[in-house]
Amino acid sequence: MHEVHEGCGIFGVYSTKLENVALLTYYGLYALQHRGQESCGIAVSSGDEFHLHKDVGLVQEVLTEKAIDSLGFGYMAVGHVRYGTTGNSSRANAQPLVIKHLKGSMATVHNGNIVNAYQLRQSFEMEGAIFHTTSDTEVISYVITNERIRKPEIEDAVLSAMDTLEGAYSLILMTEDKLLALRDKHGFRPLCYGVTSDGTYIIASESCALNAVDAQFVRDIRPGEIVVFDKNGVHSIETNCNKAEEALCIFEYIYFARPDSVIDGCSVHQARLRAGAFLAKDHPVDADIVVGVPDSGIDGAIGFANACNIPYGVGFIKNKYIGRTFISPVQKMREELLKIKLNPVSSTVSGKRVVLVDDSIVRGTTSARIVKLLRDAGAKEVHLRITAPPFVYPCYYGTDIDSQKNLIACKHTVNEIARIIGVDSLGYLKAEHLPYLADDTGCRKYCTACFTGEYKTNIWGGMHKDYFEAKTPIKTTEEIARQFQHTVKPDG
């Protein structure tokens, strides 16, 4: 039950024979739906022309049988699910983004957020460019096309564009005869590829989408790498690899990705178990039962329970059938809405001292409602454990962790947060554990900026001017670290 949203999920198919690539993409997007629920779409290349269908809505709402049929058979396809973090959620911002240029056509799907989009767009507009959307993906397409006009091959254009684009971008680009998959130099967002038994290549944000179409995982695409799929097979361009410090988003492991995915060689499920175990060690508590908030708190709860020998129990049942079209409630009905989405299992929690594990607290309002549900179901005590450190800085890399004015940890101490949420104690994951979540050697580098303030790129302050309107003074990393070291009980 979350207040944080990921930007997008992307999927691509390359085949040497004419086949129902749209249907494969549909299955892949279904598996990636958790990464974005606002809009979705598929573009298919039949060799000489592109067919596109996209709209606002869930995969099952937009990509109907009729829509898939209308796309026809093809050699390549790209697909996208979107939760907008730049630009609004209109149909115009839905992807794939298909453009025609002097040398042909290109369909783009993008996961991430480029931090210099605002500046690039302004400079193009000063030269007379006209943009049709408010999304940074159009800026990316523009930069690549601008290079393409001067360069002999799309690969050369993309290589040059990577020197201009700053920030997070995992991309799949489809031209008339090639599919290109690439990750930015830091590798903020995941991307991997696999192959089916009949030799069709599949590219996806997460390995769970390869499994959905029965493709064998081949490997993750490296930060900075461009992988080209064409009639000559698969080849890799590594010119931009090792040019910047790796910075996969650590929150992919904590919340964004599906637990059955493996990202950059590390299991998401295992990472969440480890987070729970760290919490049990750092913030132990006498309790009768450990429950998790579905879905991403479940693995952490199991990890916590295993580490401290307290039984794990199913504390909530989540309604899986609530779609985007669910009628939004008026303010006073919000608690009832939560009950429809999430119902506590009173036989698990009634009369018990409950450890509740969740992945994050953003504004605190959802957490407070969840705690109230447990109390109403008879929980005697509620001890909240969070499998991430507190959010104290905005994310500029493709999620909606926004201005500090909305982050409860920027405005309140842990004691105050515990009291506001209504828990008996509150403990966050210590930031020092982040490097050890996915890979227990601690050797890999991640982006942890929303927890630590350590951004791996220039953040081009002018782009997200809203972020800088927060009235709350920005705390230093040391202040934050001191504040969140300990399990706390609310004052009074």
Compute the least distance from the CB of residue 251 to ligand SF4, in Å. Answer: 4
DSSP E strands in 46-115: the ranges are: 50-56, 74-82, 97-101, 104-114
Residue of 363, 236, 388, 323 whose CA lies nearest to 40? 323
Report residue 338 as tokens: 């939560």
- In angstroms, the CA 462 to CA 298 distance is 39
Residue of 172, 182, 237, 201 whose CA lies nearest to 75? 201
Choice between 85 and 207, CB closer to ligand SF4: 85
Compute the least distance from the CB of residue 135 to ligand SF4, in Å. Answer: 18
Choice between 306 and 477, CB closer to ligand SF4: 477
Report residue 326 as tokens: 């669910």
**Non-local CB neighbours of 286 within 8 Å, separated by 6+ positions:** 353
Choice between 119 and 452, CB closer to ligand SF4: 452
- The DSSP-derived string for 269-301 is HHHHHHHHHHHHHHS----SEEEE-TTTTHHHH
**Count of CB atoms within 10 A of residue 258's CB?**
22
Choice between 263 and 349, CB closer to ligand SF4: 263
Whole-number Cα distances in Å, 257 to 158, 189, 244, 267: 27, 10, 24, 10
Q: Are 389 and 433 in contact (CB under 8 A)?
A: no
The yes-or-no answer on residue 266 being catalytic is no
Q: State the catalytic residue, choosing from 8, 192, 447, 450.
A: 8
Compute the least distance from the CB of residue 394 to ligand SF4, in Å. Answer: 8
Compute the least distance from the CB of residue 263 to ligand SF4, in Å. Answer: 12
Compute the least distance from the CB of residue 32 to ligand SF4, in Å. Answer: 17
Q: Which residues of this chain interact with ligand SF4, rule CB under 6 A?
A: 188, 249-251, 395, 397, 399, 401, 447-450
Choice between 6 and 38, CB closer to ligand SF4: 6
The residue with tokens 């309107």 is 469
List active site positions.
8
